[in-house]
A and B are shown apart, each in its own frame.
Chain A
Amino acid sequence: MVKVALKYCGSCNPQVRLGQVANHLAHLSDDFTIVPLSADNIDVVVVLCGCPRACGNKDEVRGRARDCIVVAGESLDGRPVAEADLAAAAAERLLRLRDTFN
C-alpha cells in the first residue's frame, strides 16, 4: 500500500479547484491510502497550491515523504497543465511513482 499525504497551501485565492484534484487522487486506486502529513513513512506527498506562488511547497513538507508532487495553479511539478487536465496529470504522475516503488 502506497501512503499518500495531501498538503494544501491554504487556498487564499485559488486559481484552480484543488478539491477536485484531491478527490480524484483519493479515489484513484486501492493501491493508495491517504494519510495525514504527520504520519510516519509517507511515500508521496501531494502539495496542492492554488496559484504559482506555491506557498505549500516547503522543504519541511517535501521532506516528510520519499517523493513529492506539486500542483501550483495550472502547473504540475513546474510544467504548465490546464486546469481541466490537472487531476488526470497528477494521477498519472502518482501512478508512475507507485510503479517505481514496486
Chain B
Amino acid sequence: MAMMTGNEYRASLEGLKPEVYFMGERIERVLDHLAFVPHINAAALTYDMALAPEYEELTSTTSHLTGEKINRFTHIHQSHDDLVKKVKMLRAIGQQTGSCFQRCVGFDGMNAVYSVTYDIDQKKGTDYHARFVKFLKEVQSRDLMITGAMTDPKGDRSLPPGKQKDPDSYVHIVKRNDGGIVINGAKTHITGAVNSHGHLVMPTAALTPEDADYAVCGYVPVDAPGVIHIFGRQTNDDRKCHCALDQGNVDYGSVGGEALVVFDNVFVPKEHVFMAGEHEFAYSLVERFATAHRQNYGGCKVGLTDALVGATFLAAEAQGTSNANHIREKLVDMVHLAETLYCCSIACSCQGYALPAGSYMADPLLANITKLNVTRNVYEIARLAHDIAGGILATMPAETDWKDPKVGKYVDKYMKASAGASAETRMRLIRLIEAMTCGTALVESMHGAGSPQAQRIMIWRQANLEHKKRLALKLAKIGDQPYLVS
C-alpha cells in the first residue's frame, strides 16, 4: 500500500475495534463520535499534507529501508536536513490545524527504538533491531499511525518501579514464553490513542537490574485483547457535542485527544518485542525519545502561534484597537517569543548528530532548552493574547443565545464592535483564542514531552559545567591555567 490520504486513514480506522470508554460509556464507534472527530481530522491532515504538492518536500520523504516514498511521520532521520525538515513540517501542519495533530509522538518513539535496539544488539547479541526494522517497514508501507506510549502512572514517585505497592504502577512483563511476553500496567496521557493503529510501548525511566521486568518495549495493536482506552476530559469538551461557534476550533479541537491506556495481561508476540529486560538501555531510550519530542515543540507550537497571532490581530481589528501602539508592540512580542522557540528547534536540529545505528538525533541540551522555553514562552504568548483580546474572552454570551429568537438581537448588537466586522466574526475569533490559550491547551505546553523539571535535570547533565569552570579559572587567574582553554 502507498501513502494514505486523510480519508483512507479514516477508512483504515473502520476495521479496528478498540475498547474505548468516555464519560461512563463504552464507545463502540470511534470514527464519528463527536468527542474524537476533531482529533481524527487533525491526524488526517498529516496524511493529506503528505500528498499536497506545496507541502510534500517537508511532509514526505524516501525510506532508507525500501527506497519508497513515505510519509515523513514514518521515517528514521538520516541527516541534519531530515531533523530540520521535521521541525518545519510540524510548524506547517500546526498552522493548518491550530491544534495538536498527534502523530509526532510515535514518530519520535520509532526513531528512539530504532537506534536503541541497534545498541542493544551490538552489546547483547540479540535480534531486536532486525525485528524492529521489519516492523518499521510495515509501518511505512501501510502508513500507520503509532502512538508513543511512554509515561507510566508511576504511583509513589519516591519509589522505583519494583518497590511500588502496586506493581502495575509501571508497565512490566508478567510472563515470558517462546512466543512472546505478557505485559500488565498502564500508560497515561497517550496522545491520539483512540484513533491510532497501535501503541509503541516504551519504558519511562532509567532502570536498575532489580527492575529488569519493567524494561519492556513493544508494539501492541490498538484493538489487541486486554488493551483498554479511557479517554481524558478537556476544558469545555462538552461544547464538542452541543456547539459549533463556541468550540472555537471546530474542525481540529484542542490538544491531541489523550487517553489512559490500560494493558491488562496483554500478549505481545515475539516479533513485536523490542526490549525485554535490558534495563541498562532504558535510560538511552528515554533520553533519545525525550530529545526527539522536545525538539518538536519549537515547530508545532510555533505553527499554532502563527494562527493565534493572526486571530489576535484580527480580534484587535474587529475591536478597533489594532492601530494602538501598545497592541502592535504586544503582537511583536508574541512573534518574538514564538520565533525564539523556532530558533531553538532549528538550532537543536542543526546541532544534532549521527548515532551508531546511522540515524540522527537532535542535540539533547538544545532540545531540552527548546522545551523548557516552551513552558514559559507559550504562557506569555497566551497572556499577551488575553491582554489584547480583552475580558470578553471570559464573559462572552453563548452561541445559542446569539441565535435565540428573543435575545439574539441584543447579543448581535452588543458583540459588534468596529464597523468593519460583524458580531459573528468577532465572536468566532474570540472563541478561537479561547480554545487555543485557555485550559487544557496551555497545560499541554507545560507538561507535554515532560514536565519542566525533567528538562532541568537533562540540562544539568548536559551543561558542560566543568568546561565553564575552567574558563572562569583562567580569566580570574586562579592557579596555572592555559592561554587557551579547550
* Chain A residues within CB distance 8 Å of chain B: 11, 13-15, 17-19, 50-54, 72, 78-79
Cβ B464 vs Cβ A52 within 8 A:
no
Residues of B within 8 A of A78 (CB): 354-356
A59→B354 CA distance, assembly (Å): 15
Chain A residues with Cβ under 8 A from B467's Cβ? Answer: 13-15
Q: Report the Cα distance A59→B206, complex, angstroms.
A: 37
Is B213 at the interface (CB under 8 A from chain A)?
no
8 residue pairs bridging A and B, Cβ less than 8 Å apart:
A13-B464, A14-B464, A14-B486, A18-B486, A51-B353, A53-B351, A53-B352, A78-B356
Residues of chain B within 8 A (CB-CB) of A13 are 464, 467
- B434 close to A (CB within 8 Å): no
Interface of B with A (CB < 8 Å)? Answer: 351-356, 363, 464, 467, 482, 486
Nearest A-chain residue to B486, judged by Cβ = A19
Nearest Cβ in chain B — how far from A52, in angstroms? 4
Tell me whether A79 and B356 are in contact (CB under 8 A). Answer: yes
Provide the bound-state CA to CA distance between A54 and B351, in Å: 9
Inter-chain pairs besides A13-B464, A53-B363, 5 sampled, C-beta below 8 Å: A14-B486, A50-B486, A54-B354, A72-B353, A78-B354
Decide if B486 touches A15 in the complex (CB within 8 Å).
no
In the assembled complex, which residues on chain A have CB atoms less than 8 Å from the CB atom of B482?
19
Check A54 against B464 for contact (C-beta < 8 Å).
no
- Neighbouring A residues of B352 by C-beta, 8 Å: 53
Asked whether, in the complex, the Cβ of B486 is within 8 Å of the Cβ of A53, the reply is no
Let me know if B356 and A54 touch, CB within 8 A: no
Looking at the assembled complex, report how far the CB atom of A77 sits from the nearest CB atom of chain B, in whole angstroms.
10
- Whether the Cβ atoms of A53 and B464 lie closer than 8 Å is no
User: Nearest B residue to A18 by beta-carbon distance?
Assistant: B486
Residues in A with CB closer than 8 Å to B354 are 54, 78
Nearest CB in chain B to that of A49: its residue:
B353
Q: Knowing A14-B467, A15-B464, say if A54 contacts B486 (CB, 8 Å).
A: no
**CB neighbours of A15 from chain B (8 A):** 464, 467
- Cα-based distance from A17 to B363 in the complex (angstroms): 19
Q: How far is the CA of A79 from the CA of B119 in the complex (A)?
A: 10
A residues less than 8 Å from B355 (CB atoms): 78
Contacts of A53 in B (CB 8 A): 351-353, 363
Residues of A within 8 A of B464 (CB): 13-15
Tell me the smallest distance from the CB of A59 to a CB of chain B, in Å. Answer: 13
Bound-state Cα–Cα, A72 to B356, Å: 12
**B486, A11: Cβ atoms closer than 8 Å:** yes
Which of chain A's residues have a CB closer than 8 A to the CB of B351? 51, 53
Considering the chains assembled together, what is the distance between the CA atoms of A15 and B353 in angstroms?
14
Name the residue on B nearest A80 (C-beta). B356
Name the distance in Å between A19's Cβ and chain B's nearest Cβ.
5
CA distance A69 to B351 in the complex (A): 21
Which chain A positions have C-beta within 8 A of B486?
A: 11, 14, 17-19, 50
A79: chain B residues within 8 A (beta carbon): 356
| CB of A89 to closest CB in B, whole Å | 15
Counting from the closest, the 3 A-B pairs by CB-CB distance are A52-B353, A19-B486, A53-B351
For the complex, give the distance between the alpha carbons of A50 and B466 in Å. 13
Give the complex CA separation of A28 and B54 in angstroms.
57
> How far is A54 from B354 in the complex, measured between Cα atoms in Å?
9
Question: In the assembly, what is the distance between CA of A35 and CA of B435, in Å?
Answer: 64
Which of B352, B354, B464, B486 counts the most chain A CB atoms within 10 A?
A: B486
Whole-angstrom distance between the Cβ of A102 and the nearest chain B Cβ: 30
In angstroms, Cα B363 to Cα A13, docked, is 13
Bound CA span A72–B355, Å: 11
Q: Which partner residue on chain B sits nearest A20 by CB separation? A: B486
Considering the chains assembled together, what is the distance between the CA atoms of A72 and B354 in angstroms? Answer: 10
Q: How far is the CA of A18 from the CA of B356 in the complex (A)?
A: 21
| Min CB–CB distance B483 → chain A (angstroms) | 11
- List, in ascending order, chain B residues with CB within 8 A of A50's CB: 486
Measured CB to CB, the closest approach of chain B to A23, in angstroms, equals 11
> Once bound together, how far apart are the Cα atoms of A11 and B482, in whole Å?
15
Closest B residue by C-beta to A54: B353
Closest to B357 in A: A78
Q: Determine the distance from Cα of A17 to Cα of B353 in the docked complex, in whole angstroms.
A: 19
Q: Which residues of B contact A19 (CB under 8 A)?
A: 482, 486
Quote the shortest CB–CB distance from B482 to chain A (angstroms). 8
Bound Cα distance from A54 to B360, whole angstroms: 12
Using Cβ atoms and an 8 Å threshold, which residues of chain B touch A18?
486
